[in-house]
Structure 1
């Protein structure tokens, strides 16, 4: 981990890693058998797992409770089933959001016999325990498909975003080469940015795919794409 002025950078290669054959995963924070006391989460953000699921592989039915869980699909398809009766398949660019609340069981599988599935699995702690479990999905509206900055998840559901029970905003950034996007962090809040694709500059720090940058200093932050297109998720957390 390196610090650049008010930024803390967690490089992709510093993450935890496990390869089970059917699952190749990198853990930004402590998860399962990977334990790093310096990386237990950031504010309400508890998990960012970068998962590659082999054809036909997946997570069988298992329980969760009191966690806001969402998956952002990057490649392939993801088949979801749960104890609430939902049975869905999502495609790249879509997000599924599950509030585990008082308790839910679910499974996630790669339905393809030939193609891998690549997703980010993200967990955020809710602001209350024992909520009614629920499931929803987010997909970009036509005007959001290529937009440089889109709100995908929030507490109030504004601007076509999916809702979670936490004071959190999650923005999807998509930038063309040389393009920039700014975000203003209000006092008392924290920022976490996870770079998915491309190489970029974030307030003077050079970052590569899988790198993350965090800060708790109020002010403006700017992501600028390098010579290739960039995709990232930005978390603004209370």
Structure 2
């Protein structure tokens, strides 16, 4: 979430605020329902990503963590990864999520892991990456076998990158965010 606030309420009895400095990662699981409602009049700006879990019908787990914006200035900040990855939150899949706030003129290499595709999303700003120059709300995909990629902020840029193992086991049963 980059702007606004929302109240999350779920069938496990949690009711917590989500905001730009409070990340929520939900592994929905079996028999789980939830809702989010906008708090206040501010416009909401966020990404909501659904990831198919390795297996269906797992127990639901919702995680909330405080995030410090300074930790992403001109460097990648790991937000989530598979269980045991060392990330502050986890998903039940071979997926990693990073973000950065890159000052105009600064460059950074995309994070990478062998066998993982990279999905880069420009939340705000303008970047050049290889032969591409793209702006706000644009995504680029780099296959696992593509060379390393350096990104340069043409204008200050708020970036998110997902590392995804498209060959990982996944379930088509149950919920898509289980």
**Would you call these one fold, judging by a TM-score over 0.5?**
yes
- Of 72, 82, 90, 2:18 maps to 90
Please tell me whether residue 121 in structure 1 is matched to residue 121 in structure 2.
Answer: no
Residue pairs, 1:38-117, within 5 angstroms: 73-112=1-40, 114-117=41-44
Task: Write 1 or 2 for the structure with the bigger share of strand.
Answer: 1
TM-score normalised by structure 1 residue count:
0.64
2:118 to 177, 191, 208: 191
CA distance in 1, matches of 2:69, 2:45: 23
Cα distance in 1 for partners of 2:69, 2:86 equals: 13
Counterparts of 1:219 and 1:115 in 2: how far apart (Å)? Answer: 41
Q: Does the CA-based 8 Å contact 1:187-1:218 persist in structure 2?
A: no
User: Kindly tell me: are residues 173 and 145 of structure 1, through their superposed partners in 2, closer, same or farther at Cα, counting changes over 3 Å?
Assistant: closer
Q: Any idea what SS the aligned residue of 1:74 has?
A: coil
> So what's the TM-score if we normalise by structure 2?
0.84
- The corresponding residue for 2:100 is 173
Structure 1, unpaired ranges of 5+: 1-72
Task: Compare relative contact order (CA 8 Å, sep 6+) and give the higher one, 1 or 2.
Answer: 2
| Residue 159 of structure 1: how far off its partner (Å) | 4.7
Aligned to 1:152: 79
How many residue pairs were aligned? 164
**Could you list the runs of 5+ residues in structure 2 that have no partner in the other structure?**
166-178
